[in-house]
Structure 1
């Protein structure tokens, strides 16, 4: 038989049931509030990132338009190879941008397009800066030695980090061969990033019939194709742009290594900073692709 309860016991049992119900409701409401707060925070974070991304895109596109107008209105050209390469890179970027919708929804696609846009803007800006006669600047010379990519280079190889530090050390306004010395070291950084992240044997294993050099090694473009394939962004436009971007930076090495510019190789702070920015961002771009591969 059910246990008989006194009125007092009944009231106590009711109170206990009510308390348990209240605790359950409070717990549920608390969890709902926490969930809603997390959802709100996630939405805020997403919206903030979208705003930052859109701001970067607007800034880069405005920079591209401005620098392209300057480049096209230039009456004299001292660094023809640099300007021609910048125009060629911009053409490849326009092709990549036209096909951007196919990449935006992919993992790393939006970031890749954003960084590609910055590369194009930097290339055009450097060409115009090198052609400019004015080089007044309030830049602190010590800014040339500051870098944000040492950590990423250390991940790959301490030797790459040391090469980059040596490249920055040569960027001295009093050094008549600053640009040439800088690019001699910086060129090796680009080559090593590709070789370390796209070893010949892995590229050949993935694509046995790929294009090779006369010595049987995969070409630079095939290494780039390998990296883009691994990060899921293998399109003709993407491969062509990245390859052209690397060629754009290496073209600077050839220009300043041939010794034909004489005293014009001695640059002020503005030009040296623009050179550094172009190469540093180019290294970041290539490294980013390799790390998503």
Structure 2
């Protein structure tokens, strides 16, 4: 027999049912608003990143074009007896960047290549700028370069080795315009930082384990390019044009070091503040690029 309820009990149950319904609707609406807000936030973040990416690329692209035009305007006699090997490495780096860019843009690729391509473009622009600075080309560095906070480099080096971080600090400390041999001191220390990064993060035994048939030096150790290939393989970024670019990028920095170690700039080997800044930026960003390629290897 069905239970009989009074009119007041019926109205109470109706109110309870209506309240539960309203709560359910409110909860649903809140979830929808939260979802829409999350979507809007994600879209805004993506659009901000796209705008930042496009702005960054435009800045580096313009800087690259401007510095390349300045360098090409110089008479070949400017480097007939000085900086020949270095200028050749600059031109080789620029060519390998063009090949990398064409390769990446002509095929579907891992989104991580976007970051690598950004940094590669900056590396090329930095190389051209510091060359024009050294040669005293008018207008060199007029287009502002994107600045990387020192913290990014220090964090990357500290993750590899505290000693490397300390060596970099020492290199920067030596880069003082009152130091007549500032560039040479800086480059000697910075070169050791790069050498140690490769040794620490790509031990010979690990490279041979992944690439048993890799190219070796006369001493039987994996070549620098083999270590670069090892890093890219570990990162899942195997691409011959990227491997070529990274090798040429490091070689360009090495040739820059040789310019100063040979003491071929002027009678006293001194550089002005803008030249020292360009040298620091070139090497600093080069190490940041290398640590990006290394990743978690």
Indicate the TM-score class for this superposition, using the shorter chain for normalisation: over 0.9
Identify the residue that residue 228 of structure 2 maps to in structure 1. Answer: 224
What is the Cα deviation at residue 216 of structure 1? 1.1
What is the Cα deviation at residue 288 of structure 1? 0.9
Identify the residue that residue 130 of structure 2 maps to in structure 1. Answer: 126
CA distance in 2, matches of 1:16, 1:125: 75
Identify which range, 161-170 or 24-33, moves more after superposition: 161-170
CA distance in 1, matches of 2:265, 2:43: 54
The one of 194, 198, 203 aligned to 2:202 = 198
Identify the residue that residue 59 of structure 1 maps to in structure 2. Answer: 59
Two-structure CA RMSD over aligned residues (Å): 1.9
The one of 134, 151, 155 aligned to 2:155 = 151
Identify the residue that residue 89 of structure 2 maps to in structure 1. Answer: 85
Alignment of 1:29-44 (within 5 A): 29-44=29-44
CA distance in 2, matches of 1:269, 1:228: 36
Contact conserved, 1:210 with 1:218, CA < 8 A, in 2? yes
**Alignment TM-score, normalising by the size of structure 1:** 0.92
What is the Cα deviation at residue 192 of structure 1? 1.3
CA distance in 1, matches of 2:119, 2:93: 14
The one of 262, 286, 289 aligned to 1:285 = 289
Contact conserved, 1:176 with 1:266, CA < 8 A, in 2? yes
What is the Cα deviation at residue 229 of structure 1? 1.1
The one of 171, 174, 182 aligned to 1:167 = 171
What is the Cα deviation at residue 136 of structure 1? 12
Identify the residue that residue 141 of structure 1 maps to in structure 2. Answer: none
The one of 225, 244, 247 aligned to 2:248 = 244
Does structure 1 residue 211 correspond to structure 2 residue 215? yes
What is the Cα deviation at residue 133 of structure 1? 6.3
Structure 1 stretches lacking a partner, 5+ long: 138-145
What is the Cα deviation at residue 147 of structure 1? 3.1
Equivalent residues, number: 285
CA distance in 2, matches of 1:52, 1:147: 20
CA distance in 1, matches of 2:86, 2:276: 15
What is the Cα deviation at residue 291 of structure 1? 1.4
Identify the residue that residue 181 of structure 1 maps to in structure 2. Answer: 185
1:160 is paired with a residue of what secondary structure?
Answer: helix
Identify the residue that residue 97 of structure 1 maps to in structure 2. Answer: 101
CA distance in 1, matches of 2:43, 2:230: 36
Contact conserved, 1:108 with 1:292, CA < 8 A, in 2? no
Identify the residue that residue 4 of structure 1 maps to in structure 2. Answer: 4
From the superposition, tell whether residues 92 and 134 of structure 1 become closer, same or farther in structure 2 (CA, over 3 Å). closer
What is the Cα deviation at residue 135 of structure 1? 10
Contact conserved, 1:119 with 1:282, CA < 8 A, in 2? yes
Contact conserved, 1:115 with 1:285, CA < 8 A, in 2? yes
**Alignment TM-score, normalising by the size of structure 2:** 0.91
CA distance in 1, matches of 2:264, 2:114: 41
What is the Cα deviation at residue 238 of structure 1? 0.5
CA distance in 2, matches of 1:252, 1:136: 17
